[in-house]
Structures are given as C-alpha cells and as structure tokens.
Amino acid sequence: MTTPSSRLLSIGEYAAATQLSQKALRIYDEQRLLPPARIDAATGYRYYGSDQVPLGRLVRTLREMNLSLTDIANVVATKDGGGAEHVLAQLAQEVDERYAREKRAYHAALVQLRRPTRAEAPEIIERSRPDTTVAIRPFMANRYDFVEKFRAEAQAASEPLAHAGLVPGEAACALIDPLSDDEARLEVVIPVPTPARIPQGITLRQLPAASCAVIATSVRHAHASELAGALDALFDWFDRRGCRALDAPLVTIGTDVAGLRTEITWAFEQAAPAR
C-alpha cells in the first residue's frame, strides 16, 4: 500500500499543492532546482513525490522575495546542512539594502522633478587652497564600504608619516572614480609639511594653489549614496558660473548627532571661452 508521504502527484496536482505554475515547474526542472521524482518515459509526464511539497512551497516563498534562481539554489543546497538560515539572512540583508537604495533614489528623483529653488539648495562656499604637499595612498572600495575602508587606509597611511616626523593633517578621500556598487579607485590624501627628502615607502604629490567650492552635508549611513546630491550641486554651481572642475573631489568624513558629517571640496578654475 502506498503511503501518503510517498504518493506521486501529477504536475497539475503538484502545482496546486505548491501554488507554482506548471510553466515555472518546467523551468525549475531544467535548472535542476526542483526536478520531478519521476518522468514517464512513454508520455514525458512529470510526477512529483508528495514529500517534495514543502520544498516546492519554500521555492515559491523565496521567489516572492524576488531572489534569483542562483540564490534560491544556494538556500536549497544548504537546507539539510543547517546553513540555509545564514544564507537566507545574508540575502535578506541584500534585499533591505536594495530597497533602501531604491527608496533614496525615489526621493532624489522627486527632488529633481520638483526643481528645488535656490533657497532650498545646499549652501556652497568658496575657499582658497594654498599650494599643498600631500601624501597619497590608493585603495579600492564601493559605495557601501568606502567609509570603513577609507578610515582604515587613512590610519595605515598616517602611521609611517608620523614615524617619519611628518605631522599629518586631516585625511580626505579623493573620488578618482564615481562611487557605485562596483569597486572604484579612490585615494587617501593627507596634507603634510614639505619634507627635505621623501621618506621611503611614502608617495607625495603637490597640489597647486586653487580656488575650491565646498559643501557640507550630513548623511545617515556609511555609504556614498547620499553624497550624490551634494556632488551634483557642486557641478551645477560650476556650470552656472562658467567654471571647470579640477582634479577629483575630496571628501572629509567626521561624525555628528545625525550620523556622518561630510565636507566635499572640489577645486575649480574659470573655463576658457568657447571659440
């Protein structure tokens, strides 16, 4: 006698039991994510064991999280070993981060559509930068981990400077590449006194005197998404005044009651008139 746990279900019955469409079940079979227990050699009909119903329902629920088939397969593959909950927690965190990023983009789009008045625009001040010697340390980071990595790299760069007798100034992060989800080229930039000789293992660069536009902002989280509006405002400020941005923008990062307190400094010059 066939027990309920081992009963074979037609693809229609299994679809009804799991609320997965027959089309989806065929795709999951092709991807080896949810293969049937048996395929009739003569008819090609698929049959599923009734004990596969919980797995089918799990796959359906994971799809409702909008996870990719690869991510679902990772959860399923670790289900019996006890690691599925950890994998799922990591995926859920990625979902939360993606939702937060999309929400910020939505609000930024609303601001752009509404074209804020000049009174609502963030304050930009001009500041003169003297001819400055800086120590440089390149590193890579994305929009989410750049603050953490910048602070670690700044600390690592400051130690040999102090050991060489060069009193370092406040470190800044040069945005060589735009920050995004992918790794970007960045630099730690630290003002130092001009040494009589360059200490071994330290890369120095001379920043010429220049006019700079400066904007300060508070961001809530340790990633660069909320810096985009400030960078847009600086570039628009240049455009209105017929100026040209020089080098890469420099970001200094501190903390205040709102979270992170950032200041972006971007050197500029008057653009040559068009011919």
CA distances from 5 to 1, 8, 53, 232 (A): 12, 9, 10, 61
Quote the pLDDT of residue 1.
Answer: 39
CA dist., res. 219 & res. 257, Å (int): 10
- Over residues 149-163, mean pLDDT: 92
Whether residue 248 is predicted with pLDDT greater than 80 in this model: the reply is yes
Whether residue 36 is predicted with pLDDT greater than 80 in this model: the reply is yes
CA dist., res. 26 & res. 241, Å (int): 61
- Over residues 50-67, mean pLDDT: 91
Confidence (pTM): 0.62
Quote the pLDDT of residue 2.
Answer: 42
**Residue ranges of the chain that CATH labels 3.20.80.10:** 124-270
- Over residues 220-239, mean pLDDT: 76
Per-residue pLDDT band for 174 (boundaries 50, 70, 90) equals very high
Task: List CB contacts of 84: < 8 A, sequence separation 6 or more.
Answer: 75, 76, 78
Whether residue 220 is predicted with pLDDT greater than 90 in this model: the reply is no
Per-residue pLDDT band for 178 (boundaries 50, 70, 90) equals confident
| Half-sphere exposure at residue 173, Cβ-oriented, CA atoms within 13 angstroms | 32
Quote the pLDDT of residue 145.
Answer: 85
Domain 124-270 classification at class level: alpha beta
**To the nearest whole percent, how much of the chain has pLDDT over 90?**
46
CA distances from 258 to 173, 220, 221, 227, 261 (A): 21, 6, 9, 15, 8
CA dist., res. 63 & res. 29, Å (int): 15
CA neighbor of 77 nearest in space, from 36, 31, 37, 46: 31
CA dist., res. 157 & res. 66, Å (int): 42
CATH of domain 4-90: 1.10.1660.10
**Residue ranges of the chain that CATH labels 1.10.1660.10:** 4-90
Whether residue 149 is predicted with pLDDT greater than 60 in this model: the reply is yes
Largest Cα–Cα separation, the chain = 93
Quote the pLDDT of residue 13.
Answer: 93
If phi > 0 it is left, if psi is from -120 to 50 it is alpha, else beta; for residue 2 that is: beta
